Structure formats: structure tokens, C-alpha cells
Amino acid sequence: MHALSIPTWIIHVSSVIEWIAAIWLIWEYGEITGNRSWWTLSLAMLPALVSAMCACTWHFFDNAEFLEWLVILQASMTLLGNFTLLVASWWIWRASKSFDENTSQL
């Protein structure tokens, strides 16, 4: 656990907690508004959360060589997470566009 300073650990852990809270709040927003496309965003955020947990785990064990595979997993989850966030953003945009078209016809 000596790989990171205490302030850096605070940043890492609080970022993970904030990300979990954001996932939950976005999911709730989708429920409240009845717009399920927001659920895709909260699900799309999960690979990035896994990536952050990989980084914290690797640092917790002092960047041990036997856990070096976590670095590969972290990079893969970051790439996957960026792609899933792109798709979720497009999905929300598409849903809002169809919502705008439907409301303009009223």
C-alpha cells in the first residue's frame, strides 16, 4: 500500500465512490423521467468502474508483478468503457430526437 500517498488514495477511493453514486443517480433519473435510454448510460459506465477498481487493486498490492495482468484488464476496460459511453450517448441523443419529433406533432 506504499505505492501511493494518503492524499492520492483519498482521490482514488473517492473517485470510485463518486462514480458509483453517478451510476445510481443516472439510473434513478431514468426511472423518474420514464426515459429508459438513461439506463443505457448507467450500464455503459460499468466498464470504467471496473477499470478504476483494477487500478486501486493493483496499487493496494504495491504494484505487484504477479498482478500485472490487472494493468491489461484496466486498459481493456477503459477502451470498452469509452466505446460503451459513446454508444449510450448516441442512444440518449436518438431517444431525445424522437421525443422532440413526437412533441412537435402535438
Domain chopping of the chain, boundaries: 6-104
Mean pLDDT computed over 6-25: 96
Question: Would you state the pLDDT for residue 51?
Answer: 97
Cα(66)–Cα(62) distance, integer angstroms: 11
Q: What is the pLDDT of residues 41-92, one digit of tens each?
A: 999 999 999 999 999 999 999 999 999 999 999 999 999 999 999 999 999 9
Residue 39 Cα distances to 22, 30, 100, angstroms? 12, 6, 19
Question: Would you state the pLDDT for residue 10?
Answer: 95
